[in-house]
Structures are given as structure tokens and as C-alpha cells.
Amino acid sequence: MIFLQETYSTEDVEENWILEWGGPILFSHGTNHSRGSLVLISSKLKLKVGQVDIDDEGRHILFNAETHGVNFLFGNVYLPTRDKEQLQFQFLEKLDTFLLRRLIPECSIILGGDFNSILDCKLDYSGPYAYRGGCLGCLTPPFGRKIGI
């Protein structure tokens, strides 16, 4: 399984992606100039995809799935850029609420993507061009704590 962001995909190119990949694909389209997220699933992976949530801005694909008797909650996210801290905060609040609602017992969470953020500004970002804005760790400390991320 592969999580992609910034695919610049639109509905008119879905068929090309499907033909080239040869397996199931979940699409969250942005525009042909911005955003877009995809989940490419190998045709060899015996995955039963359950409930799927795809936003209409190309920012996330979240879905429940089962393979070999194990339940998963997968998420491919593409947060707004770090100069848009309020949008990031709102996105993470919605994501946190959504994950809580979708979590089922005995479920493992696999969350990936592009968070467009720095978790710890002192450890992860330095130099003469260091970003002076907030970092994800300071901006949204409660994100994921309720579900153990």
C-alpha cells in the first residue's frame, strides 16, 4: 500500500492511474494545480476495504480495512502548508474527532501522509532560514492522544 499526496489528480485522469497501477486505488482529488491524495493498494494484498471517507478538497482518505483477521484504520492525510496554522489546527481537530468515531475494538491505526509541520521546532528545524511560526507539537498538543497516537 502506498500513500501519495500532491497528486494534482482530477476525475478525468482516474482511468489512467487505474490502468497503470493495476490494483485498487482510492482517490481524493484536488485540482490539476494543487492538492490531491491517493492510496494505491497492491493487487496482491488480500485487503477487505470497509467504510471509506474521502474529502472533497484532496486532503484526506480514511478507511477501515481487514486483512488476515486483523482490523485496521488507515489514513492518508495532506495538511495545509505550515503558513496556514489555523487551517492546520482545524484540520487536525476534525481528524481527531473522525478517528475517535471510526475506531473499532482491536483496531490498529496506520496514519501517514504529509503533515506539513514540525513536531519539535528545537529538534527538527534549525539554520538561518528556520521557520519562525508555530510547530505542530505546540499548535495541537492534544492531537492523537485520545486514541494513543
Residue 57 has pLDDT above 70, yes or no: yes
Q: Domain residues of the chain, as ranges?
A: 2-147
CB atoms within 10 A of CB 56: 8
List pLDDT tens digits, range 31-40. Answer: 888 899 999 9
Alpha-carbon 27 to chain mean position = 12
Please tell me which residue, 141 or 59, carries the higher pLDDT value.
59
Over residues 21-35, the mean pLDDT reads: 93
Q: Where residue 106 falls among pLDDT bands split at 50, 70, 90?
A: confident
Residue 135: strand, helix, or coil: coil
On whether the pTM is more than 0.85, the answer is no
Is CATH 3.60.10.10 the right assignment for the domain spanning 2-147? Answer: yes
> Strand 70-78 vs strand 60-67: parallel, antiparallel, or unpaired?
antiparallel
Of the segments 18-27, 102-111, 133-142, which one has the largest average pLDDT value?
A: 18-27
